[in-house]
Structure 1
Amino acid sequence: MTSSPFEALLPSTERALLHRVAVAQSEGRSPSLVGAVVRDGKMVWSGSRSCVDGHDPDGDTQYRIGSLTKVFTAVLVMRLRDEGLLDLNDPLEKHLSGTGVGEVTIAQLLGHSAGLAAEAPAPWWERTPGTVRPELADVLGEEPLRHAVGRRFHYSNPGYTLLGSLVEAMRGVSWEEALRSEILEPLGLARTSAQPVAPHAGGWAVHPWADVMLPEPSEDLGLMAPAGQLWSTAEDLCRFAGFLAQGDDRVLCAASVEEMRTPAVAPGAGDREGGYGLGVQLLRWDDRMLIGHTGSLPGFVACLWVSVEDGVAAVTLANATSGPQMAALAGELVQIVAEAEPRFPEPWRPLPEAEVDQELLELTGPWYWGTYVFGLRLGPDRGVTLEPLRGPGRRATFRALPDGGWVGLNGYYLGENLRAVRRPDGSVSHLDLGSFVFTREPYEQGDAVPGGVDEAGWRGL
């Protein structure tokens, strides 16, 4: 007999989620707040609270999402890379000239290591119309660099203005048009837009010392739009979360999305543990790695976190300039579901017959790097895993190469080649992993041990 988990959450889990949203709206003093949860690519819960009785927002209500926009812009750039139109290590000048910072690379802009200033010159760009900054020079200012290029993480909104302009230069259309045709329409994000479309929340500032509010302006950011312009809904962002977890060949393949989730630069001093990928924030939360992004603009705060390992994501949206801690709230929503209803593992199944042969089976089992013992296990698609059998050590998974051997997929051995070295009679002498030699016995006489083995062999005291 077999059984399958239901898509719907348990009532106890739903109540815990709604309680957490209610506490966040109340203690954060937000006019309204929406939360939603995705499991295995599908939205399985949403809930909201509002200061107006009977008028709670829902998953179709638009909120401004601020810097969550940067993830969309990064996807557009990665598409250009995947089409072979640019390399992430290309200097910006190669594709967008005349910026004055053309030596920075596209990868550095994506990962905020280009050394650019955090903000555009005054007046504050988030509360003024984009017409105040009609040219890139107005966005970058007279001294655009604050740090040595490529040396450290320093979050930069102007950097994503440059990436948006890069997309426009290479596509020959506006950033907004490229976004709509290349991401929003293929993924079915019909309620994500550069301008608000009803029903949408209004942005508010809540007085820090009194329960009174003030409406916030909603400006068109012009050239700064790729850094923070978008409006979206909980339902649309849940679909986008599924894309960030699994990829979608209509937009960006799974391997490229995984590349975006890989740390591009270490976190700066004082930053929360995690770092930053290519347009994606990384956060270590209660022993989980979350990927996604936070966002804020006057009147709004937002967050999207995905735990790829748990298959769970959460979206939080509120219409207050400050107050609700959206990053913490989204992390807690993921945690509630992941711990209350942990993911079911896939059933164990033998490998397909075509993936198993005697030569591969002969390579499995213990191997010694010096006196460290490792185990080689056969995996799917003729791949292998090499892991320490006792004590600390470097574990890695390897993908089979068409011409034989394997390449590392993670950890210390990412990108390194593993191969089986054979003797003239065809038997396996040793494994070579980036010049490290693994033998069947520790320091066996006659084995291919670098530096040789003492002729007296092993001895006692």
Structure 2
Amino acid sequence: MTTSEEELLPATRRALLHRIAVAQSEGRAPSLVAAVVRGGRTVWTGARTSVAGHAPDENVQYRIGSITKTFTAVLVLRLRDEGALDLSDPLEKHLPGTGVGEATIAELLSHSGGLAAETPGPWWERTPGALRPGLADVLGERPLLHPRGRRFHYSNPGYALLGALVEELRGAPWEEVLRREVLEPLCLRRTSARPDAPHAGGWAVHPWADVMLAEPLEDLGLMAPAGQLWSTTGDLARFLAFLAEGDERVLSAGSVREMRTPATPVEAADVADGYAYGLGMELRHQHGRALVGHTGSLPGFLACLTMGVADDVGAVVLANCTSGPPPFTVAADLVRIVAEAEPRVPDPWQPLREADPAVLELAGQWYWGTYAFALRLSADGLVSLEPLSGNGRRSRFRSNGDGTWVGLEGYYAGELLRPARRPDGEVSHLDLGSFVFTRRPYDEGAPVPGGVDSKGWRGLG
């Protein structure tokens, strides 16, 4: 079953349907549902099923596992934006007595706090949360495996701690806070901590026989902030649009952009796989494009939401099987199909409403030593500095309102760009974090560090 939205061409819709049909068939999933988002709107939904009487659509709930972590991260970032905490705060400052309180909130969000990947005792995903009534039961006797801040080590207990932090600072259960502060404002009416009909059942498919076994559906208790939620492709498509653009009722565009920024040391194996982690979001490379989102799994369910920000295309994939179709690979393929078949049409070029002569004066070619750069002023009010060779350090800069600019990305992120003027008001050079950029290579009229040879430029003779 596929919707007939007119936003995508028939050939594109056919290719999307074919991809999920192959995934459901080859992955032997009882059912698989998917959605594609473009321009902040759902432009395609599709489903395949082999279970009699089960006709999943964008309103049928599936368990989404660790995508729950992204929701929990949104709650923590809200607390930060309100001033209730700082991401550099140690956990102990707000949630004392855990035994791992030296880990910062940012380290817990980015899985770099050194915590163990799982809880001690029986497998928490397949046993009742009542077996772990306190945080001590979640953390166990050896909660730390690595020095904090030194490496990425995915930790489910770390997000249980973040959920407890939310409860401590809000004075209400995590589930209640999530519903009030995220789900209701974003109209995610089919996202909940417990299944709400219609919902899919979770199944294990035998690896060597075409038979199925029902998986238990447990309440995860204190581990809920790490993986409890149920949702639909319809709701997750709306959540994906929020993660792309933000929503001032929940979290600003700047804060969701921060969530999508790498925030933790990356292991060599992760570099090879094109994997990094931000604040509650996974960052991957597939088919030559950068994708951000999160995957999830619990016994009986697989899930993924991902988006190519540059392409303005995102995808959601949900299946009700313990193992089967790789959800990220399928979702990344859906993004690729749309992005390649129907590339994003750029917005029309727009000139600046008015140009500041003092800024316009800076536009053009500059040199750092013998490296040539171009400084450009764009209609969004930013300036960019980029190497003319195509290789090298580049960044955009935002005005501070006092004639200086601050770097927004890359090597120059946070660094100050300052035009230096001579007594007559003429620009002498640009100072960028102690680097001197001049209008000519090693301009003798500018204060080039180390000075300029008085003999000037010359040949071998």
User: What is the TM-score with the length of structure 2 in the denominator?
Assistant: 0.97
- How far apart are the structure 1 equivalents of 2:53 and 2:92? 54
2:457: which partner in 1?
458
Equivalent residues in 2 for 1:314-333 (5 A)?
A: 314-333=315-334
- How far apart are the structure 2 equivalents of 1:8 and 1:447? 56
2:295: which partner in 1?
294
Instruction: Report the CA distance between 1:350 and its aligned residue.
Output: 1.2
Equivalent residues in 2 for 1:61-460 (5 A)?
A: 61-271=60-270, 272-353=273-354, 356-390=355-389, 392-460=391-459
Instruction: Report the CA distance between 1:383 and its aligned residue.
Output: 1.9
Instruction: State the identity %.
Output: 70
CA contact (8 A) 2:149 2:264 kept: no
SS at match of 2:428: strand
Instruction: Report the CA distance between 1:391 and its aligned residue.
Output: 5.1
CA contact (8 A) 1:62 1:232 kept: yes
Instruction: Report the CA distance between 1:324 and its aligned residue.
Output: 1.1
Deviations along 1:124-179, whole A, 9 cap, x unmatched?
00010000000000000000001111110000000000000000000000000000
SS at match of 1:291: strand
Count of aligned pairs between the two proteins? 454
Instruction: Report the CA distance between 1:7 and its aligned residue.
Output: 6.0
- Which residue identity lines up with residue 290 of structure 2 in the other structure? M
SS at match of 1:335: helix
User: What is the TM-score with the length of structure 1 in the denominator?
Assistant: 0.97
More displaced, 437-446 or 138-147?
437-446
Instruction: Report the CA distance between 1:422 and its aligned residue.
Output: 0.5
SS at match of 1:407: strand
- How far apart are the structure 2 equivalents of 1:219 and 1:298? 10
CA contact (8 A) 1:381 1:400 kept: no
SS at match of 1:295: strand
- How far apart are the structure 2 equivalents of 1:84 and 1:216? 42
CA contact (8 A) 1:191 1:232 kept: yes
- How far apart are the structure 2 equivalents of 1:445 and 1:175? 63
More displaced, 270-279 or 26-35?
270-279
CA contact (8 A) 2:150 2:265 kept: no
Instruction: Report the CA distance between 1:270 and its aligned residue.
Output: 2.3
Instruction: Report the CA distance between 1:437 and its aligned residue.
Output: 0.1
Equivalent residues in 2 for 1:19-38 (5 A)?
A: 19-38=18-37
Instruction: Report the CA distance between 1:309 and its aligned residue.
Output: 0.8
- Which residue identity lines up with residue 311 of structure 1 in the other structure? D
SS at match of 1:74: helix
- Which residue identity lines up with residue 189 of structure 1 in the other structure? L
Instruction: Report the CA distance between 1:197 and its aligned residue.
Output: 0.3
SS at match of 2:46: strand
SS at match of 1:187: coil
- How far apart are the structure 1 equivalents of 2:321 and 2:311? 30
Two-structure CA RMSD over aligned residues (Å):
1.1
Deviations along 1:398-443, whole A, 9 cap, x unmatched?
0111222110111110111101001111110100000100011111
- How far apart are the structure 2 equivalents of 1:170 and 1:117? 25
Instruction: Report the CA distance between 1:122 and its aligned residue.
Output: 1.5
Instruction: Report the CA distance between 1:358 and its aligned residue.
Output: 1.9
Change over 3 Å in CA distance of 1:12–1:116 after alignment to 2: same
SS at match of 2:268: coil
- How far apart are the structure 1 equivalents of 2:123 and 2:216? 12
Change over 3 Å in CA distance of 1:368–1:166 after alignment to 2: same
Change over 3 Å in CA distance of 1:442–1:110 after alignment to 2: same
- Which residue identity lines up with residue 305 of structure 1 in the other structure? T
Instruction: Report the CA distance between 1:381 and its aligned residue.
Output: 4.5
More displaced, 98-107 or 383-392?
383-392
CA contact (8 A) 1:154 1:268 kept: no
- Which residue identity lines up with residue 276 of structure 1 in the other structure? Y
CA contact (8 A) 2:112 2:265 kept: no
- How far apart are the structure 1 equivalents of 2:323 and 2:79? 36
Instruction: Report the CA distance between 1:445 and its aligned residue.
Output: 2.2
- How far apart are the structure 2 equivalents of 1:392 and 1:301? 40
User: Is the counterpart of residue 41 in structure 1 residue 46 in structure 2?
Assistant: no
SS at match of 2:276: coil
CA contact (8 A) 2:24 2:48 kept: yes
- How far apart are the structure 1 equivalents of 2:129 and 2:447? 67
1:3: which partner in 2?
none
Instruction: Report the CA distance between 1:265 and its aligned residue.
Output: 1.2
CA contact (8 A) 2:74 2:251 kept: yes
- Which residue identity lines up with residue 165 of structure 2 in the other structure? L
- Which residue identity lines up with residue 81 of structure 1 in the other structure? R
- How far apart are the structure 2 equivalents of 1:155 and 1:54? 38
SS at match of 2:166: helix
SS at match of 1:385: strand
Instruction: Report the CA distance between 1:352 and its aligned residue.
Output: 0.7
CA contact (8 A) 2:114 2:145 kept: yes
SS at match of 1:360: helix
Instruction: Report the CA distance between 1:349 and its aligned residue.
Output: 1.6
